[in-house]
A and B are shown apart, each in its own frame.
Chain A
Amino acid sequence: MHIVVCIKQVPDSAQIRVHPVTNTIMRQGVPAIVNPYDLFALEEALRLKDKFGGKVTMLCMGPPQAEDALKKCISFGADDAVLVTDRSFAGADTLATSYALAAAVRQIGKEQKVDIVFTGKQTIDGDTAQVGPGIAKRLGLQLLTYVSRIADLDLENDTITVERRAEGGVQVLKTAVPCLITMLEGTNEMRFAPLENMIHAARYPVRKWNKEAAGIEDVTKIGLKGSPTVVSKVFGPTPRAEKALMQSVEDASPRDVSLNVIQKIFTQHPTLERDILAKAAV
């Protein structure tokens, strides 16, 4: 079985600062990490490999530094890694990204037939959740989004059964392989790599593909040219002036606490008490 896991290298959003003057994200010095959602996809792929054997190939589109993210995945136990990197990919939105990644998956498939493509649910920097479905559509793969569990994989009949989180419940879906799965967060826990894997990953020569190697046929569909999305405005949410007030309830009767709260509300809204009394009088 051959599984391709698509990942993205993203800035660690927990450490991002917004420039107080320009409202732009200050990326300088912010560490780059593997998109956390993608790690659930990788772990699920590794578990399938543990169970059924086969190979896990990592795929990433990004700048040369994204090699570090792929090496990290190798340390967890992936077998191979391809970085699709070319200046002409810069500025890609989800449409252009899914086009480039789909082409690369096709190229990987030429080396060895791909059975399952995994992606994370979404990225923490874009939050669109569009790239996975985009790849599936372009490759004509069955699409399984928001998967929380892989219930069964029948390699003889090429079918897969998964549990998918849906509004108001869990759907159990069965479909044909090859398919694309976007994995939900919190569904598994990434393994701790043994030392041998860490050293292997540090040595691993990640394959780097430019647009030709990635099999891009139409250069107008990649990068900025292939991206109809436009960022029209960036702004920080307006800070709200209202603040929550704390009310101590220790050693106070419920009556005193509520009287105190009502008193505070009336102090902040001087007309309120009068209005209520007036209404009560009517």
Chain B
Amino acid sequence: MSEKFDVIVVGAGPSGNAAAYTAAKAGLSVLQIERGEYPGSKNVQGAILYANALEQIIPDFRDDAPLERHIIEQRMWVLDEESFVGTHFRSDDYNKPPYNRYTIIRAQFDKWFSSKVKEAGALVICETTVECLLMDGDQVVGVRCDRQGGEVFADVVILADGVNSTLARKAGFHGEIQAGNVALAVKEILFMPQETIEARFNIKEEEGVVIEMFGKITDGMMGTGFLYTNKDSITLGVGCMLSDFKENPNRTSPYTLLEKMKAHPSVAPLIAGGEMKEYCAHLIPEGGFYAVPKVHGNGWMIVGDSGGFVNAVHREGSNLAMTTGRLAAEAAIAAKAAGKGFKAKQLASYKQALDESFVMKDLHKYRDMPQVFHQNNQFFTTYPELLNQAARSMITVDGIDKKTKEKEIFSNFRKSRSLTGLAGDALKLWRAFR
């Protein structure tokens, strides 16, 4: 017996859940297939939840979603070996509901999201791997799973199978994943009593802090570190481009990077006494605009990480995932209502909606960013060091007059990056951010 559904969603991460929920809610018959033991069992993210994208799918998610803390303070640190220069932005504005950002623990959050998907009427099966797409000519008509009698059919297959994008690659919709287009991130969740966290970070119950770090902690590679406060744990991690790990002259491994970060004198006291609960690693598609493949075709659409929808500059991913999932489902719903089939033409509204949304606009805006940072590692080595030297010099009172200090700082900058280099870097940054 081979059943046919309106939509098959492959994967139960944020994009897959958003797609399955939206489609099922609209009355379509939906089968969602997840490889893990349960939704969330294999899913890894920082993890910050941006409320807006989820609000558009489940407006009252705050009622029962497992949220850790809402973020009231964002710290940006530029680190050298023993110090950091940073900005902190903290506002009581972020304490007014509805909150904008939350820390979450994905294993719990995804399980909750999946329960909503089931409530909406989708069938969710786990521990089942989709091996390939079923084709009828050039039309995707279903999937084949690794179970006996594993063929199942649908008008539309939504590919939400994650960063490796296995299905799309097998079907030829997506090229091989390039090491220069993905970051490899590792993170730990450290258990810490709630009161300790609140005292250390100067926050009240349910309030949270985010620290984004960059500089010498990534050993000259393009990447960033992060630290998030959960309810009774701290998440911290670091990630760099996979190609940088490959080419790193010190052969620094991701976990040594994380260990060094944990030992940094600015980080160590914040996590002291934490007991490790979880250790995970994940690839993040950071190729940006130019790495986004074809997003739809005859009977298929691609969403979330599988489509490379990550804004690496702003550390956004799950919100793009949920938005792409929702938009793909909406395209499927519209195609079903129109009743004119499910060829690329009928699903083109997905591409159009994507282009009109913040997803493609943001990716387009930062289209050159990966390139600029990747080819100019002074942003991760020289500048952080210079900045920290400058701050130390100006703040240390040692009988040297300030004018001399300024001169010295400027000459340091010039020594490390000639005047043209400095101007060039500024221009590159301005162009990339513009």
User: Which residues of chain A from 191 to 234 have a CB within 8 Å of any chain B CB?
Assistant: 192-196, 198-199, 201-203
A199 contacts B148, C-beta separation under 8 Å: no
Residue of A28, A196, A202, A203 near B1 (CB, 8 A) is: A196
A194 contacts B38, C-beta separation under 8 Å: no
Q: What is the CB-to-nearest-CB distance from A153 to chain B, in angstroms, rounded to a whole number?
A: 27
In the complex with contacts A17-B277, A29-B108, A199-B125 CB distance below 8 A: yes
Q: What is the CB-to-nearest-CB distance from B23 to chain A, in angstroms, rounded to a whole number?
A: 16
Instruction: Decide if B349 is an interface residue (CB 8 Å cutoff).
Output: no
CA separation between A2 and B152, bound complex, in Å?
A: 32
Residue of A21, A195, A203 near B193 (CB, 8 A) is: A21
Nearest CB to that of A191 among chain B residues? B148
Residue of A20, A193, A194, A198 near B191 (CB, 8 A) is: A20
Residue of A31, A194, A203 near B147 (CB, 8 A) is: A194
Residues of the B chain whose Cβ atoms lie less than 8 Å from the Cβ of A202? 123-125
In the complex with contacts A29-B105, A199-B31, A192-B147 CB distance below 8 A: yes
Residues of the A chain whose Cβ atoms lie less than 8 Å from the Cβ of B124? 202
Residues of the B chain whose Cβ atoms lie less than 8 Å from the Cβ of A193? 147
Residues of the A chain whose Cβ atoms lie less than 8 Å from the Cβ of B275? 20
Q: Mark A1-36, 1 if CB is under 8 A from B, else 0.
A: 000000000000000010011000000110100000
B147 contacts A198, C-beta separation under 8 Å: yes
Nearest CB to that of A202 among chain B residues? B123
Q: Mark A77-112, 1 if CB is under 8 A from B, else 0.
A: 000000000000000000000000000000000000
Residues of the B chain whose Cβ atoms lie less than 8 Å from the Cβ of A198? 125, 128, 147
Nearest CB to that of A28 among chain B residues? B108
CA separation between A201 and B128, bound complex, in Å?
A: 13
Nearest CB to that of A203 among chain B residues? B123
B31 contacts A29, C-beta separation under 8 Å: no
B108 contacts A195, C-beta separation under 8 Å: no
Residues of the B chain whose Cβ atoms lie less than 8 Å from the Cβ of A192? 147-148
Instruction: Decide if B265 is an interface residue (CB 8 Å cutoff).
Output: no
Q: What is the CB-to-nearest-CB distance from A72 to chain B, in angstroms, rounded to a whole number?
A: 9
Instruction: Decide if B387 is an interface residue (CB 8 Å cutoff).
Output: no
Q: What is the CB-to-nearest-CB distance from A228 to chain B, in angstroms, rounded to a whole number?
A: 34
Instruction: Decide if B378 is an interface residue (CB 8 Å cutoff).
Output: no
A195 contacts B150, C-beta separation under 8 Å: yes
Instruction: Decide if B37 is an interface residue (CB 8 Å cutoff).
Output: yes
Instruction: Decide if B179 is an interface residue (CB 8 Å cutoff).
Output: no
CA separation between A17 and B37, bound complex, in Å?
A: 19
Residues of the A chain whose Cβ atoms lie less than 8 Å from the Cβ of B107? 29, 31
Instruction: Decide if B41 is an interface residue (CB 8 Å cutoff).
Output: yes
Please name the 3 residue pairs, one residue from A and one from B, whose CB atoms are nearest each other, closest first. Answer: A194-B148, A202-B123, A195-B147
Residues of the A chain whose Cβ atoms lie less than 8 Å from the Cβ of B60? none
In the complex with contacts A198-B128, A202-B124, A31-B41 CB distance below 8 A: yes
CA separation between A36 and B37, bound complex, in Å?
A: 14
A195 contacts B148, C-beta separation under 8 Å: yes
In the complex with contacts A198-B125, A199-B3, A203-B123, A17-B152 CB distance below 8 A: no
Q: What is the CB-to-nearest-CB distance from B262 to chain A, in angstroms, rounded to a whole number?
A: 18
A17 contacts B149, C-beta separation under 8 Å: no
Residues of the B chain whose Cβ atoms lie less than 8 Å from the Cβ of A196? 1, 149
Residues of the B chain whose Cβ atoms lie less than 8 Å from the Cβ of A201? 125
B152 contacts A195, C-beta separation under 8 Å: yes
B37 contacts A31, C-beta separation under 8 Å: yes
Residues of the A chain whose Cβ atoms lie less than 8 Å from the Cβ of B128? 195, 198
Residues of the A chain whose Cβ atoms lie less than 8 Å from the Cβ of B193? 21
Residues of the A chain whose Cβ atoms lie less than 8 Å from the Cβ of B145? 195
Q: What is the CB-to-nearest-CB distance from B86 to chain A, in angstroms, rounded to a whole number?
A: 31
Apart from A31-B41, A195-B149, what are 12 other A-B pairs with CB-CB below 8 Å?
A17-B191, A20-B191, A29-B107, A193-B147, A194-B150, A195-B125, A195-B147, A196-B149, A198-B147, A199-B152, A202-B124, A203-B123
Residues of the A chain whose Cβ atoms lie less than 8 Å from the Cβ of B105? 29
A194 contacts B123, C-beta separation under 8 Å: no
Residues of the A chain whose Cβ atoms lie less than 8 Å from the Cβ of B149? 194-196
